[in-house]
Structure 1
């Protein structure tokens, strides 16, 4: 009888341990991911890779938390626990989150192509089709009309050349004002009078949507970027450097393994990203010699909201010191900053 109870107890313990892996928690675990060379992902017709070094994007690994990963992350270095609502928008499903990440990556690729081709003196044309709606806040008037996947073509009869122009126009209005929005829903052209509202605690006026530009970028020669397994906008800078390198007569890597991160806009400005410390760890493990980090500006408002906030560059430099890395951490505000640094670099 005692033996039977031991068996039952053992089975019960095993069941509890197994179930612990599947009990969902409202958290995500992030940790250092990988540094992936861009050469296999980028193809420019007639311009194969010729550099002896490499350019690599760097990732952060992310997964839903279970009881065990949550507890382990309390003790493991460079493992972060993030609340569900810090990762996803309110009422956003996992599928919608993944779609949003893919569209952000697509916008990042388009920006990188524009920047690289213009800098290399190559032909690039951009056809702006409107603002693609990624999600809509539940408690705004726009929710009656707009849905994820809709394409906004014009506002008050105005067509825009970028989402920045769209946002600037909307912000020039007041909460309570109504604007006429022309949009495409399920391949049908629609229009609606939508009341503007405040969308955050600061009183920012808006429609209440997250968005990306819907652009068609045409280049000569043709360029293809295989990024189906990569989400988010943080590889923009490194994509632009990889593409730019294909048009140079000399090896701009100078033989170094170069990793980095940062968003890129069509004007070549490099933007702040999340998980910079984890990306430094991943790049160091991959043997990178140089790491480009966004040299972003921390405003008074940002400091007021989070007194512990640091610029990407400062945190990257601090992390490299903590892990005793030999990587050179290089601050960049623009694509041109990175190019200028590479031009000054001595061959390895």
Structure 2
């Protein structure tokens, strides 16, 4: 009888644990991710080999159930964020994931452009249209467009950038209608959409979407990147270095395992990213000897509102000291600065 009661209790507890593990709180939990070698991810046609390794670093992030929330509350370098600090207002999980993948695609384009310019190799862009990232629920587009749609024309007019698109629609007035040509699941559709004032900006009318340029970069030699489900723009710097290293004969790695992070702009500026502490831990576990960290400048206005905010480099250096790693953290502001540092390394 006692054994049956004990079994029943265990079954009930198991069912309870399983059931509650699928109940998500309005929070995200982030923790140290991993460091990925870039050789298998980035391929330049007939590119040069390296003796060392460039690595991108990641942060693991997921919606928090009660157990993940409790564990993160006690573990150092695991952080809890309210949903509104991760996702944009009105943004669904699907829209967030699409935005991260599009940011990664833009980051890849910027990285290729920067590397090819530095190597003096030819490239150009094929513009495909406007990529729909988000659709605002109270705006006209909500009944017609979906995240992931690609707008190719408005009123029969094609555009060469999202700026041209925004300027064209911005000249319209409330209740004007536009004919939208778009592609969804490889099928072309044409719909008429009225324009409406934005709730937060009553002096501005629009479709009610957030958008990004959808374009492909064409290079000679050809570059392919297999990023699978890696999202976000933070691998831009490391992509650009790996591509440049395969385009040019001198090996920038000099035989070292080198990790890093940072966004990259078209002009080679390295930008701030999130989760720098967790990426330091990931790089250290992967055996990196150097870590390239964005040395971003924090404006006085931002510093005034966030007095404890530090640059990525400062935070990374403190984390490296805290975990006792021998890995050296290097401050980087631009692609050119990263190249100069790597060229200064002695051969291993």
Please report how far the alpha carbon of residue 145 of structure 1 lies from its aligned counterpart in structure 2 after TM superposition.
Answer: 5.9
CA distance in structure 1 between the aligned counterparts of 2:329 and 2:173, rounded to whole angstroms: 44
Q: Report how many residues are paired.
A: 345
Q: Which residue of 2 aligns with 1:184?
A: 182
Q: Which residue of 2 aligns with 1:282?
A: 282
Please report how far the alpha carbon of residue 225 of structure 1 lies from its aligned counterpart in structure 2 after TM superposition.
Answer: 0.8
| TM-score, reference length from structure 2 | 0.85
CA distance in structure 2 between the aligned counterparts of 1:197 and 1:23, rounded to whole angstroms: 34
1:135 pairs with 2:134: yes
CA distance in structure 1 between the aligned counterparts of 2:47 and 2:30, rounded to whole angstroms: 37
Please report how far the alpha carbon of residue 205 of structure 1 lies from its aligned counterpart in structure 2 after TM superposition.
Answer: 9.2
Cα pair 1:53 1:255 within 8 Å, conserved: yes
Cα pair 2:196 2:206 within 8 Å, conserved: no
CA distance in structure 2 between the aligned counterparts of 1:88 and 1:228, rounded to whole angstroms: 21
Please report how far the alpha carbon of residue 170 of structure 1 lies from its aligned counterpart in structure 2 after TM superposition.
Answer: 8.7
Q: Which residue of 2 aligns with 1:262?
A: 262
Please report how far the alpha carbon of residue 344 of structure 1 lies from its aligned counterpart in structure 2 after TM superposition.
Answer: 2.0
Q: State the secondary structure of the residue aligned to 2:100.
A: helix
CA distance in structure 1 between the aligned counterparts of 2:177 and 2:262, rounded to whole angstroms: 34
CA distance in structure 2 between the aligned counterparts of 1:175 and 1:343, rounded to whole angstroms: 56
Q: Deviations over 1:103-146 (max 9, x none)?
A: 22111111111111111111111123333111122234654665
Residue correspondence of structure 1 range 63-102 to structure 2 within 5 A = 63-102=62-101
Q: Which residue of 2 aligns with 1:194?
A: 195
Residue correspondence of structure 1 range 260-339 to structure 2 within 5 A = 260-339=260-339
Cα pair 1:109 1:239 within 8 Å, conserved: yes
Q: State the secondary structure of the residue aligned to 1:65.
A: strand
In structure 2, do the counterparts of structure 1 residues 344 and 175 end up closer, same or farther at CA, with 3 Å as the change threshold? farther
Q: Which range moved further: 67-76 or 34-43?
A: 67-76
Q: Which range moved further: 213-222 or 121-130?
A: 121-130
Q: Which residue of 2 aligns with 1:26?
A: 26
Q: Which range moved further: 337-346 or 110-119?
A: 337-346
Q: State the secondary structure of the residue aligned to 1:230.
A: coil
Q: Deviations over 1:25-44 (max 9, x none)?
A: 22222111111110111111
Cα pair 1:157 1:180 within 8 Å, conserved: no
Q: Which residue of 1 aligns with 2:57?
A: 58
Q: Which range moved further: 15-24 or 205-214?
A: 205-214
Please report how far the alpha carbon of residue 179 of structure 1 lies from its aligned counterpart in structure 2 after TM superposition.
Answer: 9.9
CA distance in structure 2 between the aligned counterparts of 1:136 and 1:7, rounded to whole angstroms: 50
Q: State the secondary structure of the residue aligned to 2:20.
A: helix
In structure 2, do the counterparts of structure 1 residues 242 and 219 end up closer, same or farther at CA, with 3 Å as the change threshold? same
Q: Which range moved further: 276-285 or 176-185?
A: 176-185
5+ residue gaps, structure 2, are: none
Cα pair 1:155 1:179 within 8 Å, conserved: no
CA RMSD of aligned residues (A): 3.3
CA distance in structure 1 between the aligned counterparts of 2:119 and 2:13, rounded to whole angstroms: 63
CA distance in structure 2 between the aligned counterparts of 1:22 and 1:46, rounded to whole angstroms: 48
CA distance in structure 1 between the aligned counterparts of 2:64 and 2:181, rounded to whole angstroms: 38
CA distance in structure 2 between the aligned counterparts of 1:145 and 1:10, rounded to whole angstroms: 50
Please report how far the alpha carbon of residue 211 of structure 1 lies from its aligned counterpart in structure 2 after TM superposition.
Answer: 2.5
CA distance in structure 1 between the aligned counterparts of 2:226 and 2:106, rounded to whole angstroms: 14
Q: State the secondary structure of the residue aligned to 2:218.
A: strand
In structure 2, do the counterparts of structure 1 residues 336 and 189 end up closer, same or farther at CA, with 3 Å as the change threshold? farther
Cα pair 2:150 2:182 within 8 Å, conserved: yes
Q: Deviations over 1:210-255 (max 9, x none)?
A: 3222112111111111111311111111111000001222111112
5+ residue gaps, structure 1, are: none
